[in-house]
Every structure is written in structure tokens, then in C-alpha cells.
Amino acid sequence: MNKNLKFLGTLVVAVLLFSFIEETPYEATIKSWQQKRIEGLKAEEGWLNLAGLFWLEEGVNTIGGDKSNTIKFPADHSDAFLGKIILKDGKVSYEASSNATVNLGSEPAKNAELFPYKGKPTVLSHKTLRWFIIQRGDKYAIRLRDLEGEFVKSFKGIETFPIDQNWKVKAKFVPTEGKKLKITDITGRTYEQDSPGKLVFTIDGKEYSLEATGTKEHLHFVYGDATNKHETYGAGRFLDAEAPDANGDIYIDFNKSYNPPCAFTPYATCPLPTKENILTVAIKAGEKYHGSH
């Protein structure tokens, strides 16, 4: 009995000591980043509330909850007829139906030019719905949000690998000005994108590299690794990095690897990793994935 009590007492002390171990400043930084990531997904302009991606036909496209519309919005969150989206020679405009309750900002929208736009997209709203125009190559689509959509309601957070500072890796930036990467997205569309350079780094004594898009000041990477389809999203993950120093040195932190929008919604058009950005090593850091998209 005394031995059991002694063991139990030792166990309690160990648990209490463990509970008082403070997280390191680095762990706190990553947890703060993870929290902001969740907040961004849940925000009105986040990815969780996407409810549709509708490619426009040249000419008139009617919208609303009635099934007779060219583009059918969710009937439980939309009036039957909301108006017309008109695509003509690369320009997109909106004409409201006579009884439509569609707003542009805080004002009723009767007629509106939706594309092209300067700065942020022109957003129309109706009840819990928000929509605007996106361009992909020579095609145009309505991107629809529903602030009370199914993915918003079902979201339960993101599982991550344990934070490990060893996955903050020193790299060398190699500029490749003028180089264009041939990118294929998840829909099969292929396009070219400028690359400011690549990062070269070592993991467990082996050299790897990742080609960047974005700018030298704000590098963006789409990469795959040996965890894809098993522990992480099958089509790869995203990673960002700030500008290298004057010597071209930079740290990339794989603890900040994050899932692309397509991991949360079928209504996004995510780029896939180029073959040069598929790593043979298992990057057991950052966000995991066990979903269905």
C-alpha cells in the first residue's frame, strides 16, 4: 500500500511540474500565428464561407434561388430572382430584378459595374450571401459566399503537428529574375507566373530547394512532401517567407505550413506544386489534413 501511495504521489508531482512548464517564446509565436490563421478562415473574407463558383457565359446570366435561373443560388438563402449578370467582351455588370433586395455596400444595387475593378472586388450582397467576380485566364466566374454556409458551421479547427523549432530552417535565396513558372491549378488550367527566385536549404544533410512566386519581399511557396495524402493535404501545402537579408540568408519555418483553400471548400481554384517543389522528405510540421475535399 505504501509503495502504491508513494508512486501515486510521485505521479501527481510530475503532472503538476509538467503543467507549470512555460511555453517558449517561439512556441507562443507559432500559437499566435495559428490563432490568427483560424480567425482569417472564419472572417467574412475567409475561405470557409465559399458557397459556389459559377463560370459565366458570354451574354446574360440570371441569378437567384429559382431553378430556372442560369446560375442557381442556395434557395434557402436567396429570393427566387435577383437579376442579371452580364458578361460582354471582358466586362461584367449587374442589373437588378424589379423586386430584388440586393445591396452594394449599404445602398440598394440597381445597376453596377462588377469587372474590371480597381483594388478590391465590387461585392454585392443579399441576406447572408455575398458575391463578386473573379477572372481565371480568359474566363470569368461568380465567387459566392454564404456567411451561414455549411463549411462555416461544420468547421472544428485544424489539427497540426507538434511545434518543433528544428523545422525552422536556414536557407539561401537564389534570385531567378525573369523566370516564369508553369503552374497548373486543381481544375487543370495551366498558366505562367513570375518567380523572383528559389530557396536552397538542407534537411538531415540533404540539399533541397523550393521555387517561389510572389515578390522577393514576400515569398510564397506551393510545395508537396512525403506526408501528402497520408497526414497532410494531398495536393500540397502553402508556405510564406519574408525577404532575405543582404547576404541572401533567410529562415523558412515549416511550422507555418498551411493548407490551401481547396482543403476547406470545393469552390476554390488552388495551384498545385510544380514538380521542382515536390520534396522527397516528410515535412512533419505545420497543418495536417483529414478532410474530404
The pLDDT value recorded for residue 13 is 46
Residue among 237, 215, 218 nearest 286 (CA): 237
> What pLDDT score was predicted for residue 144?
99
Enumerate residue ranges in the chain where pLDDT < 50: 12-19
Peptide bond just before 116 cis, omega within 30 deg: yes
Q: Give the Cβ contact number of residue 66 at 10 Å.
A: 15
Dist CA 207 CA 202 (whole Å): 4
- In single-letter form, the type of residue at position 38 comes to I
pLDDT, tens only, 192-205: 999 999 999 999 99
50-153 has which CATH code? Answer: 2.60.200.20
pLDDT for 177: 84
Q: Kindly state the helix (H) or strand (E) to which residue 38 belongs, with its residue range.
A: helix 25-42
Domain ranges of the chain: 26-47+155-293, 50-153
Tell me the three-class secondary structure of 7-36, residue by residue. Answer: HHHHHHHHHHHHHCCCCCHHHHHHHHHHHH
Contact call for residues 127 and 139 (beta carbons, < 8 A): no
Q: What per-residue confidence (pLDDT) applies to 118?
A: 87
pTM: 0.88
